[in-house]
Amino acid sequence: MVAETDYLQFIESFNHIHKYLQKYTNSDDNVSFSDLLYRSKKHPVLSLYLADLHVFRKLRNIMVHQTDDFNQIIAMPSNEAIERIQFIEQQLVDPVNLTVFKRDVICFEADGNLKDALKISAEKEFLKFPIYEKKQFLGLVTSRGIAKWLQRTAQQDKINFTEKMKDLLAYENEGRYHFISMDTTVYEAWYLFRTKGANIEALLVTQSGKENEQIIAIITYDDLIKYLYNNDLYVFH
CATH number for the 99-231 domain, one of 3.40.720.10, 1.10.287.130, 3.20.20.70, 3.10.580.10?
A: 3.10.580.10
DSSP designation for 112: S
The amino acid at 78: S
**Digitized pLDDT (tens) for each residue of the chain, 237 residues in all:** 557 788 889 999 999 999 999 999 999 999 999 999 999 999 999 999 999 999 999 999 888 776 566 566 667 888 999 999 999 999 999 999 999 999 999 999 999 999 999 999 888 888 899 999 988 999 999 988 999 988 888 777 777 788 899 999 999 887 789 999 999 999 999 998 888 876 888 999 999 999 999 999 999 999 999 999 898 867 766
Confidence at residue 40, expressed as pLDDT on a 0 to 100 scale: 95
For the chain, which residues make up each domain, given as ranges? 2-94, 99-231
DSSP E strand stretches across the chain: 108-109, 128-133, 136-142, 177-181, 202-206, 217-219
Q: Which helix (DSSP H) or strand (DSSP E) does residue 70 occupy?
A: none
Confidence at residue 6, expressed as pLDDT on a 0 to 100 scale: 84
Confidence at residue 73, expressed as pLDDT on a 0 to 100 scale: 66
Confidence at residue 13, expressed as pLDDT on a 0 to 100 scale: 96
Confidence at residue 72, expressed as pLDDT on a 0 to 100 scale: 62
Confidence at residue 199, expressed as pLDDT on a 0 to 100 scale: 80
Confidence at residue 207, expressed as pLDDT on a 0 to 100 scale: 95
Confidence at residue 71, expressed as pLDDT on a 0 to 100 scale: 61
Confidence at residue 97, expressed as pLDDT on a 0 to 100 scale: 94
For 89, 172, 213, the CA distances from 6, given in Å and listed in that order, are 16, 55, 48
